[in-house]
Amino acid sequence: MADGLDCIHIRDLKFRCIVGINEDERIEKQDVVANVTLWADLKQACLSDNIDDTVDYKTLKKRILDMAESSQFLLVEALTQAIANLCLNDVRIQQVKVCVEKPTALRFARTVGVEIVRARG
Q: Is 102 a catalytic residue?
A: yes
Which candidate in 29, 43, 97, 102 is catalytic?
A: 102
CA angle at 42 for the pair 38 and 46, rounded to the nearest 5°: 135
- Reference 103, options 32, 12, 9, 18; nearest CA is 32
- Rounded Cα gap, residues 64 and 16, in angstroms: 12
The Cα-based distances of 113 to 59, 72, 99 in angstroms read 24, 17, 6
Q: Do 47 and 96 form a contact (C-beta atoms < 8 A)?
A: no
Q: Please list the active-site residues.
A: 102
